[in-house]
């Protein structure tokens, strides 16, 4: 699994931090076990969402390059990533509705 848009520019400063953050998130996601039932699927979705959210938060807290490069990163990666996370949060909330949780859970 690769997080799209993680490799940009030269390997120094923001780019090196970004690549490390993305590599760490990718390792966490790759280590997740494939879900076999609805309960483990919920755990998988939440763990994956958490790994991506942490990566986006870390990158958001990092100083972006100035000028055109920083604007491009915000437009091409940060805004789409945040929109994806918001959609994922909605999906996770839906999974927690009573009709989606197995009896006795």
Residue found under tokens 């958001």 = 60
Residue 27: the pLDDT is: 92
In 33-95, where does DSSP find H-type helix? Answer: 38-61, 67-73, 79-95
Residues 68-87 have pLDDT tens digits of: 877 887 777 777 777 777 77
Region 10-15 average pLDDT = 64
pTM beyond 0.75: no
Q: pLDDT band for 100, please (50, 70, 90 cuts).
A: low
């Amino acid at each position: 699994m690769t997080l799209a848009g993680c490799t940009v520019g030269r390997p120094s400063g923001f780019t090196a931090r970004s690549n490390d953050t993305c590599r760490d998130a990718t390792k966490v996601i790759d280590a997740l076990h494939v879900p076999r039932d609805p309960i483990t699927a919920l755990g998988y979705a939440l763990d994956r969402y958490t790994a991506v959210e942490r990566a986006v938060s870390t990158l958001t807290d990092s100083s972006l390059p100035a000028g055109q490069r920083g604007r491009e990163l915000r437009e091409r990666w940060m805004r789409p990533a945040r929109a994806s996370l918001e959609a994922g949060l909605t999906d996770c909330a839906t999974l927690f509705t009573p009709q989606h949780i197995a009896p006795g859970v």
